[in-house]
């Protein structure tokens, strides 16, 4: 019922109501510029400037509902904060219904009557989006103390001097047009204006002689007319064109304007056709994209599950590779110890199977026996020598004893 009543209201407003949203959007953009939204919002979020009809919903304008809804929430949150009420800036992945409800609640808090459902704002464009932002912009301007005033138009003064100047300009422009239309062959017979000025000043410098009586002409009128026709081409005045003259610039501007208009007429048809072709292509691409997404949904699910299994397998492989590395290190240590044991066993086996040590032992024993025999001989010699020395010493002692004992009896005899 509410929609039927609203349709009735739109029909009562007349045929221009459909275009009223364009005017509201342009006014909204001017208010945002006054609030300096370029530096406070766009520069902060690294966004491009809004076009004149950004939030307008029209089949002739390109639309991006996701981007427009996000821009709408950002602008609404910023305008509410500027208007003096705290409002948390929504994020891109927040719930749309909750965000729209919060914005409408703040709008009602300013005393604005809201008679449309919140779902009208979820598209991010349309009459109601422009209405909400426009009301919030007005509250923000009131908060900052800015008001729009009526323009003061200057009064128009029509003076005779301006009319005279216009006539002079028109006369001079006619002279220039006549000069342009003249053929170039007659330029040789045209008298230069500067030379004419110099001649006039020279004549004025000479002393003037006034006649004493009235001069009367004695020349025939026909001859005078012939002379006038003969010297008439030489009496034409040439005005040298100056590139700095504003009239030349105006003529060039008019010429460029006419060229731009003619080019625009030709290019506009091509651009309209190009726009139509691009729109159709974009529609086909979007529909094809939706079809492909629907067709490949199960494949995407399988791919995601395969990705999960692959990640699990990679994790198990990393764990197993860590155990293999540890076991490889232990194996290398055991192999090194085994090589050492084998080397020692080979050395001991070679020493046990080799007969050279036995031969050396036998040679050593033989040498020891020889040395023992030689030692026994030397011991015998030493014992013999010692025995002889003892016997000699004993014989000497016996002889000495006999020598001491012989004189005693003799001494007793003498006594």
pLDDT tens readout for residues 100-122: 888 888 888 888 888 888 888 88
Q: Taking residues 119-145, what's their average pLDDT? A: 86
SS3 191: strand
Q: In angstroms, how far is the first alpha carbon of the chain from the final one?
A: 195
Q: Pick from 29, 134, 138: which is nearest to 83 by CA?
A: 138
pLDDT tens profile 167-178? 444 444 454 555
66-80, 110-124, 215-229, 379-393: which has the highest mean pLDDT?
379-393
**DSSP E strands, 279-365:** none
How far apart (Å, rounded) are the C-alpha atoms in residues 296 and 275? 31
d(CA 280, CA 266): 22
Angle at alpha carbon of residue 61, lines to 55 and 63, rounded to 5°? 60
* Predicted local distance difference test score (pLDDT) of residue 49: 82
Confidence at 356, pLDDT banded by 50, 70, 90: confident
The neighbouring-strand residues paired with 318 are: none
| pLDDT computed for residue 50 by the predictor | 83
pLDDT over 80 (residue 17): no
Share of the chain above pLDDT 90, in %: 16
Worst-scoring range by mean pLDDT, 150-154, 314-318, 408-412?
408-412
Rounded Cα distance between 239 and 387, Å, is: 171
pTM, rounded to two decimals:
0.37
- Buried b / exposed e across 377-400, counting CB within 10 Å, b at 16+? eeeeeeeeeeeeeeeeeeeeeeee
Instruction: Find the mean pLDDT for residues 279-294.
Output: 90
């Amino acid at each position: 019922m509410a929609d039927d009543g609203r349709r009735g209201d739109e029909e009562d407003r007349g045929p221009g109501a459909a275009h009223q949203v364009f005017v509201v959007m342009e006014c909204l953009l001017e208010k945002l510029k006054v609030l300096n939204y370029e530096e406070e919002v766009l520069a902060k979020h690294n966004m491009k400037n809004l076009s004149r009809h950004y939030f307008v919903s029209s089949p002739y304008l390109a639309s991006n509902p996701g981007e427009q809804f996000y821009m709408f929430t950002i602008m609404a949150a910023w305008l509410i904060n500027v208007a003096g009420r705290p409002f948390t800036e929504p994020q891109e992945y927040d719930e749309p219904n909750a965000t729209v409800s919060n914005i409408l609640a703040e709008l009602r808090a300013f005393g604005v009557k809201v008679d449309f459902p919140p779902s009208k704002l979820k598209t991010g464009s349309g009459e109601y989006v422009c209405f909400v932002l426009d009301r919030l912009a007005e509250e923000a301007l009131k908060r900052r103390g800015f008001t729009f005033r009526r323009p003061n138009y200057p009064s128009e003064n029509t003076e005779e001097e301006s009319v005279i100047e216009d006539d002079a300009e028109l006369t001079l422009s006619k002279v220039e047009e006549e000069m342009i239309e003249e053929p170039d062959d007659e330029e040789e017979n045209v008298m230069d204006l500067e030379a004419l000025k110099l001649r006039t000043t020279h004549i004025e410098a000479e002393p003037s002689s006034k006649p004493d009586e009235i001069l009367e002409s004695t020349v025939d009128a026909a001859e005078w007319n012939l002379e006038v026709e003969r010297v008439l081409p030489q009496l034409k005045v040439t005005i040298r064109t100056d590139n700095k003259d504003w009239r030349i610039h105006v003529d060039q501007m008019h010429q460029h304007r006419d060229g731009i208009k003619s080019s625009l007429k030709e290019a506009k048809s091509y651009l309209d056709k190009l726009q139509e072709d691009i729109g159709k292509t974009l529609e086909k691409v979007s529909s094809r994209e939706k079809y492909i997404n629907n067709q490949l949904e199960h494949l995407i699910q399988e791919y995601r599950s395969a990705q999960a299994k692959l990640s699990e397998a990679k994790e198990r492989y990393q764990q197993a590779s860590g155990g293999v590395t540890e076991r490889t290190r232990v194996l290398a240590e055991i192999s090194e110890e085994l090589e050492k044991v084998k080397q020692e066993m080979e050395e001991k086996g070679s020493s046990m199977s080799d007969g050279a040590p036995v031969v050396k032992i036998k040679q050593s024993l033989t040498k020891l026996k020889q040395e023992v025999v030689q030692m026994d001989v030397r011991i015998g010699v030493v014992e013999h020598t010692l025995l002889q020395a003892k016997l000699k010493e004993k014989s000497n002692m016996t002889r000495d004893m006999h020598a001491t004992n012989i004189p005693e009896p003799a001494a007793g005899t003498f006594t």
